[in-house]
Amino acid sequence: MQARFHAIWSEITPKLQEALLPYIGNDDFSAMLTTEQIESIKQISGFDDHALALALLPLAAACSIAPISHFYVGAIARGESGNLYFGANMEFTGVPLQQTVHAEQSAITHAWLRGEKKLISITVNYSPCGHCRQFMNELNSGTQLEVYLPDRPRLTLADYLPEAFGPRDLTDTPLLLDTVNHGYQLATNDSLVQAALDATNSSHAPYSQSHSGIALQDAQGKIYTGRYAENAAFNPSLPPLQSALIFMNMVNGNCQSIKRAVLVEGANSQLSQWNATKSTLSVLGCTELERHTF
């Protein structure tokens, strides 16, 4: 079992421990559960879907990296496929707080990067902050997304975000998690550049059209990609680097072992991720960073 789960494991009931052990007991557990795995867990533990998502929250929160707040937030996103995706907050010392990742953003981005096309619900251990309510309103699930908290009734995003402003108030644009391919091309034989380009082509930037993606390579040669997720209210937008760091953290990668990073964006885009990406990567100890433009 990964070290991050050791402290919390004793707080899980024995029946649920038995049900979860075949998955969470593995060192290569990737912070998600498939529908088949969930069925088996429900059968052994006797938990229903709702109780299981709530019971997984302490394990999701154990993935949190919060050196500033020491406030550990976990989230579980349920996709329309039936799969469950963990998410946790991430904070970075040495850069502005704007670089912070919230647990809901983490779970949603995790699901998106794994190819989930729509989310049904999100379960969180604390009430979602205003920033996350706005971030969630960018999803193609809209305000019908179900939001669950411990000891609260089932509510939807519409309850948490009344009089909502969102993408539907603007132009007729793709929504977050809609399948897109922007079709940008770069002549390259470099697998890291190609991975960053692929991420760019799946990114969400309907307001600025400044699509971007990133690919990170760690000391073991593993590649992690991230896509820009723009928001109708602009500020809750999630940069491509944060997206990649979310995935890296979820699969238990070490965000301080990035050896090389490639950012892809448009040469003439209105926005650039370059300077912010450079500053956050440098505090994470990565100095080999390239910008490739289309």
**Residue numbers annotated as active site:** 104
Q: Does 95 bind Zn ion (CB under 5 A)?
A: no
Compute the least distance from the CB of residue 131 to Zn ion, in Å. Answer: 5
Tokens of 43: 């059968």
Considering only residues 192 to 251 of the shown chain, the ones binding Zn ion according to CB under 5 A are none
Comparing CB distances to Zn ion, the nearer of 132 and 195 is 132
Give the count of residues interacting with Zn ion (CB under 5 A).
Answer: 4
Q: Which is nearer to Zn ion, 129 or 223 (CB)?
A: 129
| Annotated binding-site ranges for Zn(2+) | 102, 129, 132
List 12, 38, 47, 102, residue binding Zn ion (CB under 5 A) = 102
Distances from the Cα of 50 to the Cα of 72, 122, 124, angstroms: 21, 10, 12
93: which 2 tokens? 């010392």
**Least separation in angstroms between CB 132 and Zn ion:** 3
E strand segments, the chain? 32-33, 74-79, 84-88, 119-124, 146-148, 155-156, 212-218, 223-227, 258-265, 288-293
Judge whether 177 and 116 are in contact, CB under 8 Å: yes
Contact by Cβ (8 Å): 90, 64: yes
State the Cα–Cα distance between residues 155 and 169, nearest whole angstrom.
Answer: 23
Find the shortest distance in angstroms from Cβ 89 to Zn ion. 8
3-state secondary structure of 57: helix
**Residue 222 Cβ vs Zn ion, minimum distance, rounded to whole Å:** 28
Q: Write the interaction track for Zn ion spanning residues 115-134; mark x where CB under 5 A is met and - where it is not.
A: --------------x-xx--
Contact residues toward Zn ion (CB under 5 A) are 102, 129, 131-132
